[in-house]
Amino acid sequence: MEPIRLSKRMAELGLCSRREADEYIAKGWVKVDGKIVDVLGSKVTPDQTITLEPSAKAAQADRVTVLINKPVGYVSGQAEDGYQPAVVLFKPENQWEGDDSGIRFAPAHLRGLAPAGRLDIDSVGLLVLTQDGRVAKHLIGADSQVEKEYLVRVSGKLSEDGLRKLNHGLSLDGEKLKPARVWWQNEDQLRFILKEGKKRQIRRMCELVGLQVVGLKRIRIGRMMLGNLPTGKWRYLKSGETF
């Protein structure tokens, strides 16, 4: 069996992200077959047993995940073209009054907080920010099967077999899209359920079948619903809640 980097193997096993793995290794918080390995770049074989020390598990427990109802005009990630990133909304005065997580806001929660998935500047709804590499991998890793659900208001005339193509049969960037579930919610609104998230995917899919997107709102990621979280407000993911 070909040895691979310890950090890569830890990420494959879902123990943490590769960045977190390097941090834990450097701090002496990782054991391989019962022995501490603290040298970055160390390699292991797939049959070796990797465990985290209690200190690493405690650090993971302190990492937060935040659900935001993103308004129009904010970008998901880094600031661009003069537009602010959604993370600027993560401040005490914007915490939803209905947040019953029991977690108190702390400036330390901003450290390493990053979006787990895109929601473009003209779209609104559920956006996840997380400090936890395990959450990010689950939601946006290459093998993620987590569903994302959207309400999409459209204009234009749908091509004859457009709805069938939206469900399965379109390609973007030279790649066939995974099967989706798309149906009419009402006369001018479609409901989309996807398991992938290419850049501006829904808008581009609609253009291919003769429709223009007028409004787009993400209402669910996995088991987590946007619910009645108000626009521009955020809440913590509670203990016991999972995607």
If one counts every other C-beta atom within 10 angstroms of the C-beta of residue 175, the result is: 9
* Catalytic-residue membership of 143: no
Residue 89 and residue 237: Cα distance in Å, rounded?
A: 16
The helix or strand, by DSSP H or E, that contains position 218, with its residue range, turns out to be strand 211-221
Residue 8 and residue 142: Cα distance in Å, rounded?
A: 14
Residue 24 and residue 7: Cα distance in Å, rounded?
A: 9
* Residue among 22, 81, 120, 173 flagged as catalytic: 120
Integer CA distances (angstroms), 18 to 40, 72, 137, 169, in order: 11, 32, 10, 35
Q: Which residues belong to the active site?
A: 120
